[in-house]
Structure formats: C-alpha cells, structure tokens
Amino acid sequence: MKCTNKTKAGVISCLLILSLTLFGCGSLSYSFPYDRSSLVSGFKAVDQISTGKATPYAANLCVVSENKLDSNINMGETCAACLFDVNDNSCLYSLNAHEKVNPASLTKLMTALIAVKYGSLDQILTATSNCKITEAGAQTMDLKAGDSMTLDQALHILLMHSDNDVALLVAENIGGTIDAFIGLMNDEAKRIGATNTHFVNPHGLTAEDHYTTAYDMYLIFNEAIKYEAITQILNLSTYETSYNQSGGFPKDISYRTTNLFLRGEKKAPNNVTVIGGKTGTTLAAGHCLILLSKNTEGKPYISVIMKAPSTETLYDQMVTLLELIP
C-alpha cells in the first residue's frame, strides 16, 4: 500500500513539473523558432525545467493543413485560393493551399522584401548588360547599361508595373550578383517557413524549378507588408518619376498599377477596402493575385488566388472570396 502511494505521488509530481514546464506560471517565456535542421518536428525544445512557457514559431501566423471550402464558392479551373484573417490568425477559406504552382510576378514581392531588408531606398542602382530580358512579350522598361535610378524608384516600377528588367536591376545591385540575390530570396523563404517555395530568378518569368504555393505566398506577403515602404507602394494607383539614362539625360516615366481594384475597373464588396496587392500572369502560372484588404472595422485580411484561367475569372473569384470577410 505504501509502495502504491509513493508511485502515485511520484507520477503526480512528474505531471506537475511537466505542466509548469510547458505552460508556466511566471513571466519568463521561451520562443520556439522555426528551424528546418531541427530533429524535433522543426522546433527546438527547452531542455530544462522552468516556470516559463514556450511560444511556438507559428503563434502569430495562420496555419492551414487541409481544404476549408464554402458551398457558395465555385473556383472552377482555378488551382488554388485562400483567405486569411491576419488579426485572428485564422483561415476563412482554403483550396489547395499547399499545391506547388508557378508564381509569375508574385515573385517580385520577395524581390522587394529582400531589397528593403538589405538595401536603402536612396541607394543608386545602375544597370548593366545583365539587366536584359530576351523573352518575347515579357514586360520591361527597356533598361540600357548605364541607366540609373534609386531603389525607391525601382521598387515603385517593380511592384506597380511589374517590369522584369527592373527586377534584375534590383537583384544585381542589392545582391552584388543576381545569383547571390536569388540565394538571399531562398534563404528568406526558409526563414519565414515557406518550405514549398524555390526561386531561380527575381522576376517570375517561367523557369524550371521556380515554384511556390498559395500558402507560401501568404507567408511572403505577410512578411513584406511589415515594411511601410512596400505597403505604401502597393496602395498607389499611379506613379510618375524621372530616371537617368546612360547618356546622362533624364527620362520621365508614368505608370498605372496593374491592380484593377486600385484602378477602379473592378469593385470590391461594399464592406471591404482593398489596400493593395500584386498581380502576376504568365502562360504557365495563369492569372494570379494577392491582396491586403480591410473590413469596415479596419481588420486586415490577406487573400490569394493562383492560376485562374483568365483575368475576368480571377477578379470575379477574388470578389467572391472577399465577400466572406465579415
């Protein structure tokens, strides 16, 4: 009888210690950083007894493990779509969130993120012969070797008009080489948990082994909009500036955003205001769009659609998705 009581007491003591270790009762806290090299489900565990509590890596992120559909939404041939409540870290809709797809120019969100993280907005970028896009039909501003502009100017052109040669301009000047910059893009993707993403260029033109997912695009976009320089640009409908041509002569340019909501050509639901976003279109990627929106209470939401069959379908489906915002 005594032996049994001792055993029970030992078990209770162990459970008490374990509960204090996991949940804590004091102000001390630990973080559970995301680490792909960890042998414990991607997390490092606290290996000592304490009264602290551990905060998991994804505590402030939306997590999606399976489809979360709505009977009123028919995505048809569209490959993937998601709607996330940023404040509540919840997913309101999810279709094929982890399906690997070509990101097209949504790639440029990661390019912009790396640029503002490692560069300065007043930094002068100078084009070389490496900033040449040869793919037929690809959007460019026809940069010539010796042309120059600030990083701030380049980011406006990159995110609003999606010129592919400007992505190369940013990559080479910020990374030292384009390949080194792409390495930074992939390192950042791993750091934020976008483990189903791999980049081979900074612009998103179709290439083998260049892919992402709707969920990973949420992670990338969610990280990018932490930078005010990026969110301000994404909110603009027009942009005018002047850059220096190789001969020393300035050239005036004027752009409109590719986002049809901001251009006033498409209308969001009455209770939703579209703050900004990024479009992307190639034959391989189809028509893609990611948005930051707010409801009448000012709560932020991120919505993403990948590989819609047409521009019209893309925006019609995005409106339907935004209608799920309370």
Q: Tens digits of per-residue pLDDT, 94-118?
A: 999 999 999 999 999 999 999 999 9
75 lies in some domain: no
Residue 137: CA count within 13 A, CB half-sphere: 5
Taking the mean position of all CA atoms in its chain, how far away is CA 112? 10
- What's the token pair of residue 268? 């969001």
Band the pLDDT of 126: cuts 50, 70, 90.
Answer: very high
Helices 164-175 and 107-118: angle between axes, nearest 10 degrees = 30
pTM of the model: 0.85
CATH of the domain at 304: 3.40.710.10
**89 and 50 within one domain:** no
Please check the confidence at residue 313 and state whether its pLDDT lies above 80: yes
72 lies in some domain: no
Section 211-217 average pLDDT: 98
Looking at residue 265, the DSSP 8-state letter turns out to be S
**200 and 110 within one domain:** yes
Q: Of the ranges 28-32, 183-187, 238-242, 294-298, which one carries the lowest mean pLDDT score? A: 28-32
**51 and 115 within one domain:** no
At residue 64, the pLDDT reads: 87
At residue 16, the pLDDT reads: 45
At residue 121, the pLDDT reads: 98
- What's the token pair of residue 148? 């120059």
**142 and 19 within one domain:** no
Please check the confidence at residue 129 and state whether its pLDDT lies above 80: yes
Q: How many domains does the chain have?
A: 2
At residue 62, the pLDDT reads: 85
**281 and 217 within one domain:** yes
**90 and 19 within one domain:** no
Please check the confidence at residue 43 and state whether its pLDDT lies above 60: no
Band the pLDDT of 60: cuts 50, 70, 90.
Answer: confident
67 lies in some domain: no
What domain range includes position 98? 80-322
182 lies in some domain: yes
**159 and 303 within one domain:** yes
Distances (CA, A) of 68 to 63, 81, 210, 217, 264: 12, 10, 27, 17, 30
C-alpha triplet 142, 202, 125: angle, nearest 5°: 55
Smallest Cα–Cα separation from 103: which of 34, 6, 204, 189? Answer: 204
The residue with greater pLDDT, 56 or 204, is 204
70 lies in some domain: no
217-229 pLDDT per residue, tens? 999 999 999 999 9
Section 185-202 average pLDDT: 98
Please check the confidence at residue 134 and state whether its pLDDT lies above 80: yes
**173 and 233 within one domain:** yes
187 lies in some domain: yes
**24 and 94 within one domain:** no
CA distance 164 to 139: 6
Please name the helix (run of DSSP H) or strand (run of DSSP E) that holds residue 205, with its range, or none: none
The residue with greater pLDDT, 61 or 233, is 233
**90 and 209 within one domain:** yes
**123 and 21 within one domain:** no
At residue 247, the pLDDT reads: 87
**41 and 90 within one domain:** no
66 lies in some domain: no
Q: Average pLDDT over the chain, rounded to whole? A: 88
190 lies in some domain: yes
Would you say 111 and 158 are in contact if contact means Cβ atoms under 8 Å apart?
yes
